[in-house]
Amino acid sequence: MKRITLIVLANLFFGLACSLAQVQNLTVEPNHSTIGFKVPIAGGMTLVYGRFSEFDLKLSLIDGDWTKLGASFIIQAGSIDTGIKGRAEHLRSADFFDVEKYPEIVFKISEIVEAGENTFLARGPFTMHGVTRNLEIPFQVLGVDGNTIGIQVRMKLNRRDFGVGSGFTHSSIENFLADEIDVEINFWTKRDKRESVD
């Protein structure tokens, strides 16, 4: 009888703890967010800048604890843009992203650990060009002001790890494209009203 009572009490306390937890559902505002990259050309003699203009990011933050952040992040590969129409079309082709076959770039968070003051590492599977690898993506919380949160990512990504442009060769310049791409992401996140965990 005592054991049954303890189990019931434990379940009640667990349910109470869940009901007291606060979930902040976060949505990115595209007008003030950027997923950008820069590619060194010809051994770094110049740089090409680009971005992905279509993406969807939903975040759930529990009790303001960034190590409890849940996220699903999808980029539409076909939205790549470098400011030159012909180059963007080439990047969408089978030579590079092959967007007809692999339309989405996806990252899912499985774990987050602290890495310093307002700095964290998000770990999880990253899928691009049909290849999935576990990545560790660093991000920094730049500030929280009322309903606005700023998040920044600065990292390098090796395109050959995902088979992007692996078979491409320039007609006259050897090693025309660098393997390592600089990724620069800035998110401006609007926070919805707080909701209790069911």
Q: pLDDT at residue 60 above 50?
A: yes
Cα-flanking dihedrals φ and ψ of residue 39, to 5°? Answer: -120, 115
**pLDDT > 70 fraction of the chain, expressed in percent and rounded:** 84
Q: Average pLDDT for residues 64-85, to the nearest whole number?
A: 92
Residue 139 covered by a domain: yes
Q: What is the pLDDT of residue 16?
A: 39
Total domain count, the chain: 1
Find the domain containing 130 and state its range. Answer: 22-193
Longest CA pairwise span in the chain (Å): 83
Residue 117 covered by a domain: yes
Output the pTM of the full model. 0.82
CB 80 within 8 A of CB 49: no
The single residue listed with the structure tokens 């590619």 is 39
The set of long-range contacts for 159-166, using a CB threshold of 8 Å and a minimum separation of 24, is: 161/131, 161/133, 162/128, 162/129, 162/131, 162/133, 163/129, 163/130, 163/131, 164/96, 164/97, 164/128, 164/129, 165/95, 165/96
Residues forming a β-bridge with 51: 36, 81
Cα-flanking dihedrals φ and ψ of residue 40, to 5°? Answer: -65, 135
Choose the weakest-confidence range: 16-20, 32-36, 179-183: 16-20
Distance separating alpha carbons of residues 141 and 122, to the nearest angstrom? 12
pLDDT higher at 144 or 156: 156
Q: pLDDT at residue 52 above 50?
A: yes
CATH code at position 141:
2.40.128.110
Confidence of residue 17 (pLDDT cuts 50, 70, 90): very low
Residue 1 covered by a domain: no
CB 129 within 8 A of CB 83: no
Residue 3 covered by a domain: no
User: What are the b/e assignments for 29-39, b being 16+ CB within 10 Å?
Assistant: eeeebebebbb
Q: pLDDT at residue 71 above 90?
A: no
The single residue listed with the structure tokens 């992040």 is 73
- Cα 136 from chain centroid (whole Å): 10
DSSP class of residue 20 equals: H
Q: What is the pLDDT of residue 25?
A: 82
Confidence of residue 87 (pLDDT cuts 50, 70, 90): very high
